[in-house]
Amino acid sequence: MQSILVANRGEIAVRVFATARRMGISTVAVYSDADADALHVREADAAVRIGPAPARESYLVPEKIIAAAREAGAEAIHPGYGFLSENAAFAEAVMTAGLVWIGPPPAAIRAMGLKDAAKALMAKAGVPVTPGYLGEDQDDKTLAREAGRIGYPVLIKAVAGGGGKGMRRVDKAADFAAALESARREARAAFGDDRVLLETYVTRPRHIEAQVFADSHGNTVHLFERDCSLQRRHQKVIEEAPAPGMDKATRAAVTGAAVKAAQAVGYVGAGTVEFIADASEGLRPDRIWFMEMNTRLQVEHPVTEMVTGLDLVEWQLRVAAGEPLPLSQDQIRLTGHAVEARLYAENTAGGRFLPSTGVLEHFRLPDTVRADAGVAEGGEVTPFYDPMIAKLIAYGPTREAAVSDLCEACDEVEVWPVKTNAGFLGRCLESPDFIAGDVDTGFIDRNLEALTDAAEPSAAALSAAAAAAMVNAEAGSAEEPFSPWRELVGFRLNAEPETAVRLFRADEAVLARAAEHAQPRSVLVTHDDEIVVFEAGEAFAFTEHPPSADVAEGGGGDGAVRSPMPGKVTAVSVKAGDTVAKGQTLLTLEAMKMEYALAAPFDGKVAELSAQVGAQVSEGAVLAVLEAGA
């Protein structure tokens, strides 16, 4: 093939373009109005606009994607992941249009697309599956009864789901109805299908998955396993290959079941078979069950590339062109260890993980590890799409070396003013339990307070901020906005041995001392004369004047419940005049494909309610007002 269109955006589009360019294949990007100046558009040889910012009016419209391919003269379409990547009807439409579909056959997508049918198929093929309820009866009472039969805790999962959407853990019968409603609403919004299945919830689960590849000549292989147990709200955060503690017998069981699963549906191309393991007694061949198959390339595919030395996108393109797999099973080697962290545009403070949007005025990623980014400095993070902005992947001869390198890389991330989870990632990676490989899918929840505690700048960071304030004042940055002092990286201050400077961080005054030899720190002076010190993946902002008082995110002492981000109101749980308790959910917002509940900041009465289901709200908008003690 001579040219391909990638029906996706962000880092996956950039990633596919890189391999295509190396293979001499021309590339076509598609973009919405929100992505007109995005990195993936600039990286492509050609680009076609496909509609407004909302995905349902652009990236999720098959006709627009196919029309763009025809307009640009592309021969093939690569779906990336997310959006239409696992849509069998889209795959058929691509092939009907005379284009090459770089993915599995539509029949395989359908077979694995509905979790209940897929599990039944896998059970018939001899692949072990998790106990649960896969019935067609979706009546609330039936589902509640089946949950009781399975036994709590139970897991509700969207039949057409993926990526943690429409998934809820329920610990007791009293919570089932509310969790079911929430799961259905999220599933309906994400997939247009609110049907669910139920599974027994494994109390010490690990998420193990196997990468498989098949060609149209009857060959199917595995590329070993990955461990994706570090998750939050069923969204993967850190992935690695191989899985810690994996012995030969368990590996053989997992990879053998994955190959059997792929063969059962006549699979072709790249796919991932996901398993849940009961790790209460370590990894064992008889305690791992099939969960689902993702019929596409995975976000975490780089860790498999690093430990096998293979380019999975190149394999996809060759298989789609009708070639046999480049290697047989006995030629594929597993060497070393790789770990990947997903860098999200989000504020992790207090464990809320709120999306962060805006222009990336300063964006620096480390050059010591592989960094797959979907944005660049000057670009914008919008509320319309997934908040992942980059992936950081470290490789080493041992797990210890790879984890250490990735932790250092997270520490070196510099992003402003958009907030990221880099500091949170670093704290996960340096946790003694993680270093020991003692993890499961509940790791983050169990350690949430320690992992999301508000970070404080070190003495060295304070010293750097004080020194920058002095240098900035001397340089007259306000009058010279393009002064070389705007970015003060690793500088040394020739001043008195110790000089005190009064700075402000949030609403707190800080007495910072500029030492004679300021510690090397990356410092940015913004156009608003904020002094930003980057340290351990965090961005600490200081001013020389006290800022105006702000109401805390989501609510405050005045009773105003504000939107902490731009988003869409998906549910309103109260009405004006209702009496509410502190912590009670008032309404639910959706942003960047996830739901966020806003709770009452104190006991009281709903005095005003302006939020309406379906309304788009801006950051800081007052959605409700509470009166205390009512």
How far apart, in whole angstroms, are the C-alpha atoms of residue 340 and residue 514? 37
What is the DSSP code string of 67-97? HHHHHHT-SEEE--SSTTTT-HHHHHHHHHT
140-150 and 176-191 helices, crossing angle to 10°? 120
How far apart, in whole angstroms, are the C-alpha atoms of residue 180 and residue 198? 10
How far apart, in whole angstroms, are the C-alpha atoms of residue 516 and residue 512? 13
Write out the two tokens for 235.
Answer: 């969204």
How far apart, in whole angstroms, are the C-alpha atoms of residue 235 and residue 245? 22
Write out the two tokens for 160.
Answer: 């057409």
- Using the CB atoms, write b or e for 42-78: b if 16+ within 10 Å: ebbebbbebbebbbeebbbbbebbbebbeebebbbbb
Query: How many angstroms separate the most distant Cα atoms in the chain?
Result: 78
Among 296, 427, 521, 562, which one carries the catalytic annotation? Answer: 296
Write out the two tokens for 2.
Answer: 């001579």
Bridge partners of 196? 158
Write out the two tokens for 286.
Answer: 């008889």
Write out the two tokens for 605.
Answer: 């009465």
If you compute the radius of gyration of the chain from its CA atoms, what whole number of angstroms results? Answer: 25
Closest CA to 44 of 74, 66, 65: 74
Between the alpha carbon of residue 451 and those of residues 135, 340, 349, 448, 538, the distances in Å are 39, 18, 9, 5, 13
Write out the two tokens for 249.
Answer: 């017998």
Q: Residue 509 carries which side chain, given as an amino acid letter?
A: A
State whether residue 287 is helix, strand or coil: helix
Cis peptide before 601 (omega within 30 of 0): no
Q: Please indicate whether residue 296 is annotated as part of the active site.
A: yes
State whether residue 558 is helix, strand or coil: coil
Write out the two tokens for 290.
Answer: 């099939």
Q: Residue 510 carries which side chain, given as an amino acid letter?
A: V
Residue spans of beta strands (DSSP E) within 257-353: 269-278, 288-294, 337-344, 346-347
Between the alpha carbon of residue 179 and those of residues 174, 196, 580, the distances in Å are 10, 12, 20
How far apart, in whole angstroms, are the C-alpha atoms of residue 230 and residue 273? 17
Task: Enumerate the active-site residues.
Answer: 296
